[in-house]
Amino acid sequence: MSLENRYDFVLLFEVTNGNPNGDPDAGNLPRLDDETGCGLVTDVSLKRKIRNFVGMVKGEQPPYEIYVKERAVLNLQHVRAYEAIGAGDLLKGDDKKRKGGDKAGEAKAWMCKNFFDVRTFGAVMSTGVNCGQVRGPVQLTFARSYDPIMSQEHSITRMAVATEAEAEKQDGDNRTMGRKHTVPYGLYVAHGFVSAFLADQTGFSDDDLQLLWQSLEHMFEHDRSAARGEMATRGLYVFKHESKLGNAHAHSLFERIDAKLRDGAIAPRSIKDYVISIDETALPSGVQLLRMVG
């Protein structure tokens, strides 16, 4: 079933004693805005968690395969598309990049049909074996913490070494030292958008939309690691528009969701240190607020 409505949504999530998104260019320190000190989590990181959740619950089977995943060879998926539409002969020869012709559109449609993340987030599939480019109907912003975060660095020890040579150098003491970075607590907010017009182009359906909401609610529950500490979705607020085009500007709707520190709270350490306000009064005509979480 195709989408007949535009959606804008607000995602609130927290991290406790963990690193929600390390920056490889800064020694894996938690990402932050250098001017404000507020924490950041990239849209790529959030999409990764959605992909992992969908792949887990749907068993990586069509139409819910995942295109961008660890160790994936993307051009092999493109080859699958051409073979599936009966155009595998077009890929013979040395110049694969310009092969495809009219069949590239059919290959792109096959990719959208079979891969959840292609028809949801879009993909550039024109490298190597050409399956075109897809602009996805679902887009996410960077997440930003409401308040400055304090990045802490911890010394850790490992009571083992990798090789016998290392063990000999340690004179019987197998301990090796390391570093770990955590945020004591941070409440983050991200904004998202769902375009019904782009959904028509990729085949993103109402069933896919419901799976997206489920992913945003539960993705942290199945993404546990020692490095990420405790992460949880604390709020998912969806503004449903009556029309495909939309009945209000997204920014004016996002301003209705806010979080402030409680009086007396200086260094937040839990969601209880915040007051989350949701303004449901006098919503614009044709806009409905769906409180999925929170």
Report DSSP state, residue 35.
T
What are the Cα distances from residue 217, in Å, to 42, 154, 241, 247, 285? 18, 30, 21, 26, 27
pLDDT in tens, 146-168: 999 998 888 888 777 777 777 77
pLDDT 10s per residue in the chain (294 long)?
A: 789 999 999 999 999 999 999 999 998 999 999 999 999 999 999 999 999 999 999 999 999 999 999 888 999 999 999 999 998 888 876 555 555 567 899 999 999 999 999 999 999 998 888 999 999 999 999 999 999 999 888 888 877 777 777 777 756 566 777 788 999 999 999 999 999 999 999 999 999 999 999 999 999 999 999 889 999 999 999 999 999 999 999 999 999 999 999 999 989 999 999 999 999 999 999 999 999 999
Residue among 132, 134, 130 at smallest CA distance from 91 = 130
How many Å apart are CA 286 and CA 294, to the nearest integer?
Answer: 22
Residue among 171, 205, 245, 190 at smallest CA distance from 5 = 245
Element (H, E) at 165: helix 164-169
Cα 49 versus chain centre, distance: 5
Write down the domain spans for the chain.
Answer: 1-42+142-294, 44-134
